[in-house]
A and B are shown apart, each in its own frame.
Chain A
Amino acid sequence: MGKEYHFQVNLGGMLDILSNHLYKSADVFLRELLQNGTDAIALRKRREPGWDQGAINIRLKPGRKIVFTDNGAGLTKEEIHQFLSVIGQSSKSGMLDRRLQEDYIGRFGIGLLSCFMVSDTIVVHTKSIDGKKAYVWKGKPDGTYTLKRLEDSKEGKGKDIPTGTSVILTAKEGCEEYFQEETVTRLVQYYGLMLPVPVRLNKEKKPLNQIPEDFMQMGRGKLLAFGEWLFQEKFLDVVLFHTKHLSGAAYVLPYKTDSSVKNGHRIYLKNMLLTDQGTPLLPDWAFFLRCFFNTAELRPTASRESFYEDGELEEARQEFSDTVKQHFRHMSKDNPETLHKIVSVHYDAIKSMAVWDDEIFDMFIDYLPFVTSEGRMTGAALKHAGSASYIGDVPRFEQLKPVFIAQNRLLICSGYAFDEQLIPKLAKRFHLPVVPLHEEDMGKVLKGIPAEERREAQRMLAAMNEGLKEFDCRADLRSFQPADLPALYSISDDVRFLRQVQGAKESSNGVFSAALSSLLSGNSGKALAGLYLNYYNPLVQRLLSVQDDELLRSMAKVLYVQALAAGGHSLHNKELRALSRELLYLVDGIK
């Protein structure tokens, strides 16, 4: 068997991986220091029952140096070699049946390395509670380090060295901003706001990370004031969380947000900020909330910037949904005015929940607004509105609105986000006579004309249909308001797509044009478009008495193109050519 060799690790390369691939920014060095300090204090508490003086102090020489001190358990000489100098070895791993203690935050043994992102050297002064000796460790990014007794060094000579650890960093060129009071304050409050130990800057009495001790018992007003301080927003409402995995608050934003917004939260794991991203903990619909959570029993990923996907995370998500739902359920009974206000701002988010969640649907449907031919109507109003139709095409809705108003019928627009699912759900759940309006049904929507008049119109319709053949369209006679609208073009989704394909074929050639022809193959049986002529319209009335079939064919094409344009449909070459040709024919007729 050959000799066994060990891999050599290029620390410079590792640092590049950490700073460029693992961590999102150099900010995390402070998070790692806070984490190590807090864990060291937790360890000392365990080893010295009754001791409760844990604290972290930060001293700054602005722009140049930071001294980060905790009075935790410190490290012995052996522990320094073992934990500070071996990458991937954490002082917190392998404990208690290889399960990480609840009150330890770190686990990967790579945190201290992040300090090399802002400093070319890491100096650690440490004195363990287990030993009387103190040490100074100096690490460099090339992977070398020195270790000597602190008492023998000029920094420690003749001093009474307390138990604990100080990390001393000197600003790298370009990283001076991380050594400014403002930055350190911001980062401590960002990452360590929930830490159970006070973090003080430059011996100030007031810790940087103070949150109200009675947070979970605070009233709504105080919670909202805290939220305003934390997120700089005047929130509409707050939902308090106290579940197995989540404690904290979710604040309801006072303005509408886009569903793509996933950031802006403060999500902590064991009191240390993990992420400002909602995913993967929060459901997609939570975009109207800003959350301030401390989580427990969830696993972080290696970068400590997200959660590991497992059963605990699934449970936490469920707790989140259940708590939000319960809050709104109570609010619908106790404070419907506030609920109404929230819905009026966040109906998009609530609709997205209501699509898939029956409980949310039942809770909110009465408040949710929908666009109809009679203006905005809530779900409650629709429940009592009697029979109605709904249509998913917004321009088509706008076009048909006057027709429905004139007929005293209700048309609902289901073309906006989530309404295409909510309207049928509303109809089904409450057995409402609300039905979809398909383009194929247009003939039923527009009023028919008496049999005698229809018979008289047969000749006109036959001639006009002859003229419309080339457009895959069929004319019919109906009566509808407004009377000044001579014709209404009706097209199903299928026919519309066929028109798009036709248009694209006209503008392309070669293989792509051939592919579009293939795409359409086998679709000859698809529905035709409809041109509904308005019996009330004066022009149509005149045409009913025209005996010249050629003129009728020509007018059919003109009305067809006019109806296309009025309906917002794009005109293709074929139609524009037809319009020019028929106008010319009409002008020639005048001569």
Chain B
Amino acid sequence: MADKYDGDLIQESLELLKGAALREALLSAIKQADEAQDHYYRMFFRYQYAAEVYFHDDPPKAMPAAIEFSSIFEEYPDLFGSAGGEMYIMIMQLAVDPVVSLPQIPISQWEEMMDQYYQLIKRFNIGHRTYWSQKSQFMIYIDKEKAFEYFQRFWKTGRDDLSDCRACERSFAVRMHLLMGDEEGAAVHAKPIKQRRLSFCKDTPHRMLKAYIEYAMDKGDLKMAIPYARELKRIGHRDRGDLSYIGAVLRCFAFSDLEQGVKLMANSFPWAAGLWDEKMAYDFYKGAGAVLHQLSRKEEHIPLTLPEQFSCFRNDGVYPVKELEQWVYGQAEDIAGRFDARNGTNFFKDNLGLAVNYSY
């Protein structure tokens, strides 16, 4: 006789796992719950898996699990009681959010997804504030005035149980004010984070630090970027989900601490292999390109352990620095081109232009 399915036991067994082992175990847990037709755990493990890959691996990988959660939830809407609506919207956010980083998904489809997502928000009457933040984050690369308008709507809408943590919201506010060139406005929002007057989640103060580094480097102010980069280096290279942060640090370290920059790049480079989140890959390549550019002035070759998935892979593990720099920028250019084509703007092309202006 087959053993009785015990979702609680499986859940307990996941508690000490991390990283790749946790993701594999969660996929296996989903499979077992599917086989047992335990709809509560079918949803619960999908929810956990989506959150795990979204925050610690490659965010678009959350999409299939989130969308499957939606189908199961619609069939069994009462299994999570009153918390169900909140869970449902939260996981759908993980399905919608990565679209900004996937240039192959057209804007019209994103708009339709957002409409459907908004229907859910109205249905459960929760998540209004987050909805405006989602819209704002997408528009950053298309129309910054519009993005700021959405940001203001987000800021004016009341908080609810689905809102991001206060520190993340402040980090986002810092980013939006810097986007508009308003350093004073950004400083107002940054102050409680810098003074640690707010509780932090996993992504704060990382987001704020990244926003400051990119802003400072874009305007050629290396001195301003350095303390933020040092702090972000200390806290922001935990797993693959940190590649965007690492990219920002590399961009600054290329000109302020090349030795650490090379080390950080070498250690995190393999994480960029097979990444679906193209914005994250772009951020990393942008920073790695700067490091390689500076390194090429001193060294001709760099030893790296890269996976074969990279088209630049070399069996001997020794890479000509100039050649690798060109390859890395080629990747960034390619991604920038695809984002701009989807968005109908020159945002990424201009952004990359600022990054390769080495006048620090």
Report the separation of the CA atoms of residues A280 and B68 in the bound assembly, to the nearest whole angstrom.
39
Report the separation of the CA atoms of residues A416 and B34 in the bound assembly, to the nearest whole angstrom.
25
B31 contacts the other chain (Cβ, under 8 Å)?
yes
Known: A308-B196, A309-B231. A511 touches B24 (CB 8 A): no
B181 contacts the other chain (Cβ, under 8 Å)?
no
A344 contacts the other chain (Cβ, under 8 Å)?
no
Q: Give the residue of A280, A306, A508 whose beta carbon is less than 8 angstroms from that of B70.
A: A508
B267 touches A301 (CB 8 A): no
B1 contacts the other chain (Cβ, under 8 Å)?
no
Q: Give the residue of A314, A395, A507, A515 whose beta carbon is less than 8 angstroms from that of B109.
A: A515
A301 touches B197 (CB 8 A): yes
A424 touches B197 (CB 8 A): no
Known: A308-B195, A510-B116. A519 touches B307 (CB 8 A): no
A503 touches B270 (CB 8 A): no
Shortest distance in angstroms between A428's beta carbon and chain B's nearest beta carbon? Answer: 5
Residues of A near B72 (CB, < 8 A) are 507
Known: A356-B267, A510-B116, A512-B113. A504 touches B104 (CB 8 A): no
A394 touches B25 (CB 8 A): yes
Q: How large is the interface on B (under 10, 10 to 19, 20 to 34, 35 or more residues)?
A: 35 or more
B230 contacts the other chain (Cβ, under 8 Å)?
yes
Residue ID in chain A nearest B115 by CB atoms: A511
B20 touches A356 (CB 8 A): no
B118 contacts the other chain (Cβ, under 8 Å)?
no
Within 35-90 of A, Cβ neighbours of B (below 8 Å) are at none
A427 touches B305 (CB 8 A): yes
Known: A258-B16, A504-B67. A518 touches B105 (CB 8 A): yes
Residues of B near A417 (CB, < 8 A) are 17-19, 21
Known: A309-B194, A428-B303. A497 touches B61 (CB 8 A): yes
Q: Give the residue of A280, A500, A510 whose beta carbon is less than 8 angstroms from that of B65.
A: A500
Residues of A near B25 (CB, < 8 A) are 394
A393 touches B68 (CB 8 A): no
A570 touches B34 (CB 8 A): yes
Within 247-295 of B, Cβ neighbours of A (below 8 Å) are at 267, 270, 274, 276
A519 touches B104 (CB 8 A): yes
Within 427-469 of A, Cβ neighbours of B (below 8 Å) are at 427-428, 436, 438, 440
Residues of A near B61 (CB, < 8 A) are 497, 500
Known: A314-B230, A424-B305, A438-B308. A415 touches B64 (CB 8 A): no
Report the separation of the CA atoms of residues A258 and B16 in the bound assembly, to the nearest whole angstrom.
7
B196 touches A522 (CB 8 A): no
Report the separation of the CA atoms of residues A420 and B276 in the bound assembly, to the nearest whole angstrom.
19
Residues of B near A428 (CB, < 8 A) are 303, 305, 317
Residues of B near A518 (CB, < 8 A) are 102, 104-106, 109
A386 contacts the other chain (Cβ, under 8 Å)?
no
Residue ID in chain B nearest A395 by CB atoms: B24
Within 65-101 of B, Cβ neighbours of A (below 8 Å) are at 65, 67-68, 70-72, 95, 99
B20 touches A394 (CB 8 A): yes
Report the separation of the CA atoms of residues A501 and B58 in the bound assembly, to the nearest whole angstrom.
14
Within 200-235 of B, Cβ neighbours of A (below 8 Å) are at 230-231, 234-235
A516 contacts the other chain (Cβ, under 8 Å)?
yes
Known: A284-B238, A395-B28. 15 other contacts (CB 8 A): A314-B230, A415-B19, A416-B18, A416-B20, A420-B19, A420-B20, A436-B307, A497-B61, A500-B64, A508-B68, A508-B70, A511-B112, A512-B113, A518-B104, A570-B27
Chain A residues at the B interface, C-beta cutoff of 8 Å? 258-259, 280, 283-284, 301-303, 306-309, 314, 317, 355-356, 392-395, 414-418, 420-421, 424, 427-428, 436, 438, 440, 493-494, 497, 500-501, 503-504, 507-508, 510-516, 518-519, 521-522, 568-570
15 contacts between A and B (CB under 8 A): A394-B20, A415-B20, A416-B18, A417-B19, A420-B20, A438-B309, A500-B61, A504-B65, A508-B67, A508-B68, A510-B116, A511-B115, A512-B67, A512-B70, A515-B113
